Amino acid sequence: MAMKLSTRAIVVSLCLVLVFFAGQSAAAHGDRGKKGTVGDKVYQIVAKEIRDNSGVGPALIRLLFHDCWVNGCDGSVLLDRKPYGSKTEKQAENNIGLDGFDVIDKIKAKLGDNVSCADIVVLAAREATFIVSREKIDYPVKTGRMDGVVSSAEAADRFLPPSTFDFEQLKANFDVKKFNTKELVALSGAHAIGVAHKSSFADRIDDSTATPISLDYMNALKKDDKPIQPNNIRDKELAFRNASGYDPTGVDTTDMGKGVLDNSYYHANLQNTVLFRSDWELRNDTSGDAGGIMETFKEDAKEWYRQFGDAMAKLSKLPAEGTRFEIRKNCRKTN
Is 67 part of any known ligand binding site? Answer: yes
Q: Does 313 bind ligand HEM (CB under 6 A)?
A: no
- Consecutive H or E run containing 326: strand 325-326
- Consecutive H or E run containing 316: helix 301-316
Residue among 43, 167, 217, 276 that touches ligand HEM (CB under 6 A): 276
Return the CA Rg of the chain.
21
Can you list the alpha helix ranges (DSSP code H) found in 73-116? Answer: 101-111
Residues contacting ligand HEM: total by CB under 6 A: 27
Q: Please choose, out of 29-37, 158-166, 207-215, 247-255, the segment that lies near ligand HEM by the rule CB under 6 A.
A: 158-166
Residue 54 CA to residue 52 CA, distance in Å, equals 7
Is 161 part of any known ligand binding site? Answer: yes
Q: Considering the complex, what minimum distance in angstroms separates the CB of residue 311 from ligand HEM?
A: 7
Contact 186, 87 (CB under 8 A): no
Contact 265, 259 (CB under 8 A): no
Q: Does 62 bind ligand HEM (CB under 6 A)?
A: yes
Of 36 and 227, nearer to ligand HEM (C-beta) is: 227
Distance (Å) of CA 276 to CA 6, 162, 203, 222, 286: 60, 9, 8, 14, 19
Name beta bridge partners: 274: 232
Q: Is 204 helix (H, G, I), strand (E, B) or coil?
A: helix
Q: Does 194 bind ligand HEM (CB under 6 A)?
A: yes
Site for ligand HEM in 117-156 (CB under 6 A): none
Is 74 part of any known ligand binding site? Answer: yes
Q: Considering the complex, what minimum distance in angstroms separates the CB of residue 293 from ligand HEM?
A: 14
Q: Is 31 helix (H, G, I), strand (E, B) or coil?
A: coil
Catalytic site includes residue 267: no
Longest CA–CA span in the chain (Å) reads 84
Please name the residues in contact with 169: beta carbons below 8 A apart, sequence gap of 6 or more: 161
Is 133 part of any known ligand binding site? Answer: no
Is 70 part of any known ligand binding site? Answer: yes
Residue among 99, 157, 252, 300 that touches ligand HEM (CB under 6 A): 99
Residue among 25, 37, 40, 97 that touches ligand HEM (CB under 6 A): 97
Residue among 39, 58, 75, 259 that touches ligand HEM (CB under 6 A): 58
Site for ligand HEM in 195-254 (CB under 6 A): 195-197, 200, 231
Q: Cα 47 to chain center, whole Å?
A: 17
Residue among 79, 190, 218, 233 that touches ligand HEM (CB under 6 A): 190
- What single-letter DSSP state applies at residue 147? E
Q: Considering the complex, what minimum distance in angstroms separates the CB of residue 230 from ligand HEM?
A: 8
Cβ-in-10-Å burial (0-12, 13-18, 19+) of 193 comes to buried
Q: Please choose, out of 29-37, 60-68, 151-159, 246-254, the segment that lies near ligand HEM by the rule CB under 6 A.
A: 60-68
Is 299 part of any known ligand binding site? Answer: no
Residue 157 CA to residue 217 CA, distance in Å, equals 29
Active site residues: 66
Extract the annotated binding site. Answer: 67, 70, 72, 74, 76, 89, 161, 191, 262
> Which spans of this chain sit near ligand HEM (rule: CB under 6 A)?
55, 58-59, 61-62, 65, 96-97, 99, 161-163, 165, 170, 187-188, 190-191, 193-197, 200, 231, 276, 278
